[in-house]
Structure 1
Amino acid sequence: MSRPVNRFAHSTVAGGFSVVICVYTEERWNDILAAVDSVRAQELPAHELILVVDHNRPLLERLALHYAATAAVRVLANAGPRGLSAGRNTGIAAANGEFVAFLDDDAVAEPAWLGHFAAAYADPAVLAVGGRTEPLWSSGRRPPWFPEELDWTVGCTYRGHPPGLVRVRNVLGGNASFRRSALTAAGGFTTGIGRDGRRLPLGCEETELCLRLARAHPEAVLLVDDRAVIRHRVPAARQRLGYVRTRAYAEGLSKALVTRSVGARDGLATERRYTTRVLPAALGRGVRDFLAARPGGAGRALALLTGLGAAAAGYAVGTLRAHGNAGPPGADRAAREEEPR
């Protein structure tokens, strides 16, 4: 494969980027290969690429054989308990680049992805840089009822997220990078918060990590550069209101775990702006579109109300559990039929 012209040759990346992709199922075989190819096609070449396989020996052996002749790709087994956080920690422990970047296994990075990350690290105060994640709808286009404000439920950047190169509370784990020294000092990702192979699609492990980094280093700068773009596949199973409800409920549960660790003030700072400014504006647009007989207006308003209600319910249940109450019987029933990741 020929290398594209390197527009970022003078970026400050003395130790380079170790790119970590965590994988778990052979059903995403083609997606995994596409993700790897997108990293190998970066204008700023990665120092190394690490595939971490989450307790799936057939997939581990298949990937090891596929990339046996590719020195720049290392295939490792998750050395910790099942789950995304432990997989990422395995990648961090194996990495020897100055920076560690994470890419979802069902996403592809634009050629300038690593270059934009690298440019931001010219400031030594910057400990983490994230990017913009755009949806790749399996149907070819966004469902008319699916509001952009809920793109976070399918792992993408939502409408209302500040644009440009901006300071943020936390980056999103599927499109993010960190100084490896900061990750190591912080002890990596906390297991028990994010996805762990169960049916419920939990999250927020990167939020908790970023809050710990900020507390340990008050002068730290965490950034998102929306020029660092990846495109994330959204399968048909996630283009349903039921999945939005389940994912939002799981997010509420996860937020309760985070706030238990770091407090509600820090743990919900971004969410307050979202629920008081972004959601009301989106609901207003949905209602106006419905009244004007535009396609999807009523559906978008319903989806927004469903997502908000499910997240609030999940947070309430998670808070009760944190105080020794398991929550109402059957609270997770609606989630058990959904896709795990």
Structure 2
Amino acid sequence: MSTALLTPLSPSIDICICTFRRDALLDTLRSVADLDVPDGVRLRVIVADNDITPSARERVERVAEGFPHELVHVHAPARNISIARNACLDAASGDFLAFVDDDETVTRPWLGALLATALDTGADAVLGPVRAIYRPGAPGWMRRADSHSTFPVRVRGEIRTGYTCNVLLKGASPFVRGRRFDLSLGRSGGEDTDFFSRLYQAGGTIAYAPEAWVEEIVPDGRARFSWLARRRFRMGQTHGRLLANGSVPPRRLVHLGLAGLKAGYCFAAAALLCPFAARRNPSILRGIMHVGVTAGLLGLREIRQYGGPSPAAEHGNAA
């Protein structure tokens, strides 16, 4: 990645999209083509193809013919999302590097909002929100609870980790330059949580641009309680593993006790809220996440999310 000094008047930005056999990639690229690009900004788009064979190359080359920005296809096999994310980091040369998923579309002000926050705050990473778009068949409770949208979590006023479904990284940052996604997490997910947690622990700062929206249509296969439960459990596992790696055994026992208490509280609250699905089910899901934290602290093997035979097995929003 570029080590040049940041030039706010004419920054270059690489927008990176990791993909695996998804037709929705074309919608993502169309939305990038329609971006409101800030004056003086130079864009390049990198598509990292995570398939065994370069299955996305032909469609990327077709789109490139009329695309308003430089469009690059990088083959990054195979079926390990960390490999694709690292290929983006290796190919990037801009002052900034943005990540967005191949099943998302960016809003026109997206990039400008991320860049403005990066320049105003000097942060090493800037997160934006992801708005879930539900199909007509999605359960009502899920819509009301907005269970699939993504926002950063603050701990005592700080953002301590992040996600790759909507983020801008400062290329010259010493906390970004040379950092890579953990290959061992490239099939289970949680590689982005791990990446940003390590960035924060090393002294990096993470900011938030609330107007930098991207949108994601929730497919029928994800609009299920069972899918959300698996995701929450895996999220908890990742958090538990990070806690375990950074604590001595006595402290780990404290974390285990707290996770158990939090899980019990969530399940008890869900029982009291039984008639109200939009409040009951999120409470159950939070309890499942804390059970996942316990599993992570105990070192249980993480659920495999990537590496399936079809895009339905891939998870763009692992956190």
The verdict on a shared fold, with TM-score over 0.5 as the criterion, is: yes
1 CA distance for matches of 2:239 and 2:288?
Answer: 12
Say if 1:63 and 1:257 are closer, same or farther in 2 by CA, change over 3 A. farther
2 CA distance for matches of 1:167 and 1:19?
Answer: 26
Corresponding residue to 1:170 among 161, 167, 171: 161
Q: Percent of aligned pairs with the same residue?
A: 21
Corresponding residue to 1:192 among 184, 189, 201: 184
Displacement of 1:116 in angstroms is: 0.6
When the two structures are superposed, what TM-score results if normalisation uses the length of structure 2?
0.76
Q: Which amino acid in the other structure matches residue 301 of structure 1?
A: R
Say if 1:146 and 1:169 are closer, same or farther in 2 by CA, change over 3 A. same
Count of aligned positions: 290
When the two structures are superposed, what TM-score results if normalisation uses the length of structure 1?
0.71
1 CA distance for matches of 2:303 and 2:162?
Answer: 28
Match of 1:61 in 2: 57
Asked if residue 240 in structure 1 is aligned to residue 224 in structure 2, the reply is: yes
Moved over 3 A (4+): 147-150, 260-265
Matched-pair contact (CA < 8 Å) for 1:53–1:76 = yes
Displacement of 1:114 in angstroms is: 0.5
Say if 1:332 and 1:188 are closer, same or farther in 2 by CA, change over 3 A. closer
1 CA distance for matches of 2:114 and 2:226?
Answer: 35
Asked if residue 157 in structure 1 is aligned to residue 150 in structure 2, the reply is: yes
Corresponding residue to 1:312 among 287, 290, 294: 290
Match of 1:41 in 2: 34
Alpha-carbon displacement from aligned partner over 1:244-280 (angstroms, at most 9, x marks no partner): 1111122122223322344599xxx9xx9xx97xx97
2 CA distance for matches of 1:236 and 1:147?
Answer: 13
Matched-pair contact (CA < 8 Å) for 1:251–1:311 = yes
Matched-pair contact (CA < 8 Å) for 1:129–1:223 = yes
Gap regions ≥5 residues in structure 1: 1-10, 197-201, 291-296
Match of 2:71 in 1: 73
Corresponding residue to 1:86 among 71, 76, 83: 83
Aligned ranges 1:311-330 → 2 under 5 Å: 311-321=289-299
Asked if residue 50 in structure 1 is aligned to residue 46 in structure 2, the reply is: yes
Q: Which amino acid in the other structure matches residue 22 of structure 1?
A: C
Corresponding residue to 2:116 among 100, 119, 125: 119
Match of 1:302 in 2: 281
Asked if residue 179 in structure 1 is aligned to residue 157 in structure 2, the reply is: no
Secondary structure of the residue that 1:259 maps to in structure 2? helix
Secondary structure of the residue that 1:22 maps to in structure 2? strand
* RMSD of aligned Cα (Å): 3.9
Deviates more, 1:115-124 or 1:182-191: 182-191
Secondary structure of the residue that 1:181 maps to in structure 2? coil
Match of 1:229 in 2: 213
2 CA distance for matches of 1:126 and 1:207?
Answer: 17
Corresponding residue to 1:14 among 1, 10, 13: 10
Say if 1:65 and 1:221 are closer, same or farther in 2 by CA, change over 3 A. closer
